[in-house]
Structure 1
Amino acid sequence: MRSDQRRSITVRAPGKINVYFRVGALQDDGYHEVASLYQAVSLFEEVTATESDTFSLRFGGPIETAGLPTDDTNLAIRAAKLLAAHTGYQGGVDLTVLKRVPIAGGMGGGSADAAATLLACDELWSTGVGRSGLASLAAELGADVPFALEGGTAVGTGRGDELSQALAKGTFHWVLALSDGGLSTPEVYSMLDRHRDDHANELGEQPEYVKVETAVLQAVRVGDAESLADSMHNDLQAAALRLAPELTKLLELGESRGALAGIVSGSGPTVAFLVENAQEASELKSVLMRAGVSALTVTGPVHGARVIEG
């Protein structure tokens, strides 16, 4: 079969911001319970799945992807192979990922790729697993994958993969400040654990189980940006700032030039600034760009993974 006759499906899946993130005490198995409020934002990965006898992956788009693996260690390839194993599908797939979400930026770009791959392959292969079945597979791949499939605004508990949709009204406007380098999520968690150990007397014993505060849920429920700005929090932020001290100045710059609040998204180093409206978003983006910071404007919440072609 010639390549131009092969069937393709293209799926778009969103990056996310953690507008609230609490981390419980380190447990015996080396993991932490977390409580997060995720918001999917209008920065999308696109995955095109094309019929093939083997599994392959290539990247395109505005993000530098030279350092990304294209073998079985990549989450998108793992997603495709997991679905094939689950359904007994005997073929493969050629995946082309158009990357827009920063790599290792705390916005779940790799998870969006995996979610998009699951949906694209289920459609391409006619395996009929459907969204609820795909959600179970997504949870096997990583904590952020089920949310990229679902989108919207959601509370994540457990390891972050136990999702419940949060009522959200209106549109929130964000300015994302992007860093040249990434931060390793395991390193950020290790720094948090060390920080807690070093300051155990002041910080006290950490709770094993954590939850999203009511004030945050109420802010998104009524669509109130100022209330959300007052209640945003990220336990990983202090650790990210210790590993990347330049982010402190970046937060100060944004908050002094019109942002209602700034927060390190997830394990960083992307910083998300919440602003009142589209005009203020545009103005803050200009301020950051003039300061030599790569920045873009997004809105949330947006839908999860969706077929856009095929």
Structure 2
Amino acid sequence: MDKPISTVRVRVPAKINLHLGVGALGDDGYHRLTTVFQAVSLYDELTAEAAEPGVCELTMTGEGAQELPTDDRNLAVRAARLVSQRFAGGEPLGVRMTIKKAIPIAGGMAGGSADAAAALLACSVLWDLDADVAELTEVAAELGSDVPFSVLGGTAIGTGRGADVVPALSRGGLHWVLAISAGGLSTPAVYRRFDELEPAGCDLAMPTGLLNALAGGDPVAVAPHLRNDLTAAAVSLDPALQQTLDAGLEHGALAALVSGSGPTCAFLSRNEDDAVELAARLRADAVAGSVRRVKGPVPGARLLT
């Protein structure tokens, strides 16, 4: 008889929205989106350990982790409880989770959604529930718009509220430099500001130019098609972002955009050498709290043990 699993480790990536088309606020309180996600090589790591039935505890470490709740307000805790409810047939299960954070908090890179995806996968394996990726993705949609993509990773198209996700062809790899702000931006606040600036919403057409460029694998072709309808809203709430975006372009980035609702800024480079040089220049300018080089696409939530 196999020995029960007592510890599971999962690594889960951050995301960049290569395209984020945002529609008007709907009667249901949500915006319709057309987005192209890309998972990039900046990771949170979740460790799940077996605990007494009914126990669901979370500890977080890493920069800014002390600012995050560790009770049922945290998406990872909600994800663990949802897995137990959905797949365990009402049997009380227990878990103690530890998350080591590297994805910036309130940075527009889906850190909370990534942690929820990691919890879904970790708990399903820890509890030996035989939930497949399709089932986990379906449950993920109940937790938030970015969670299904965090399960899948790679490059993908998101529609509806962003939770309806299908893979997109992306040849080769893209080299990015991230300028991560010392502070965060509230996603609801950015969307409220967007509603003030664009009450009728923006175009939700499928970004075929971007998708064709991604399929071709040439970053120079990809660059002119990057778009984020939340940029003006984010910049209006944090005007220093414009200086950061301008600095990246002045130092040779092919393109610059705010990631999601911000305030992380993402710069596309021609290749790894250019990314190394750009990162050094941005660090010298001190235009952000920290600067990181990443590559995409990478897989979504994955088991380490």
TM range (shorter): over 0.9
Distance 1:146 1:35 in 2: 15
* Aligned residue number for residue 69 of structure 2: 69
TM-score, length-normalised on structure 2? 0.95
SS in structure 1 at match of 2:304: strand
Report deviation, 1:6: 7.9
Distance 1:26 1:105 in 2: 22
1:298 aligns with 2:294: yes
C-alpha contact 2:150 2:300 (8 A) present in aligned 1: yes
* Aligned residue number for residue 147 of structure 1: 149
* Aligned residue number for residue 202 of structure 1: none
Distance 1:81 1:259 in 2: 43
User: Which of the residues 90, 110, 113 maps onto 2:112?
Assistant: 110
User: Which of the residues 185, 192, 195 maps onto 1:193?
Assistant: 195
C-alpha contact 1:176 1:271 (8 A) present in aligned 2: yes
SS in structure 2 at match of 1:141: coil
C-alpha contact 1:157 1:211 (8 A) present in aligned 2: no
Report deviation, 1:281: 0.7
CA deviation digits over 1:88-118, x for unaligned, max 9? 2412100000101000000011111110110
- 1:109 counterpart letter in structure 2: G
SS in structure 2 at match of 1:140: coil
- 2:69 counterpart letter in structure 1: P
* Aligned residue number for residue 59 of structure 1: 60
* Aligned residue number for residue 262 of structure 2: 268
* Aligned residue number for residue 94 of structure 1: 96
Unmatched 5+ stretches in structure 1: 198-204
- 1:60 counterpart letter in structure 2: T
Within 5 Å, which residues of 2 pair with 1:163-174?
A: 163-174=165-176
Taking only the aligned residue pairs, the percentage that are identical comes to 48
C-alpha contact 2:5 2:126 (8 A) present in aligned 1: no
SS in structure 2 at match of 1:33: strand
* Aligned residue number for residue 81 of structure 2: 81
C-alpha contact 1:14 1:151 (8 A) present in aligned 2: yes
- 1:23 counterpart letter in structure 2: V
User: Which of the residues 207, 228, 242 maps onto 1:213?
Assistant: 207
Report deviation, 1:122: 0.5
Report deviation, 1:7: 1.1
SS in structure 2 at match of 1:295: strand
Distance 1:105 1:206, change over 3 A: closer
CA deviation digits over 1:141-195, x for unaligned, max 9? 0010000100000000000000110011000000000001110111000001111
SS in structure 2 at match of 1:66: helix
* Aligned residue number for residue 177 of structure 1: 179
Divergent runs of 4+, >6 A: none
C-alpha contact 1:12 1:45 (8 A) present in aligned 2: yes
**Root-mean-square deviation (Å):** 1.3
Report deviation, 1:227: 1.6
1:247 aligns with 2:246: no
C-alpha contact 1:37 1:212 (8 A) present in aligned 2: no
SS in structure 1 at match of 2:252: coil
Unmatched 5+ stretches in structure 2: none
- 1:273 counterpart letter in structure 2: F
Distance 2:277 2:183 in 1: 25
* Aligned residue number for residue 201 of structure 1: none
SS in structure 2 at match of 1:190: helix
Distance 1:149 1:306 in 2: 8
Report deviation, 1:211: 2.9
TM-score, length-normalised on structure 1? 0.93
SS in structure 2 at match of 1:106: coil
Distance 2:254 2:21 in 1: 21
* Aligned residue number for residue 132 of structure 2: 130
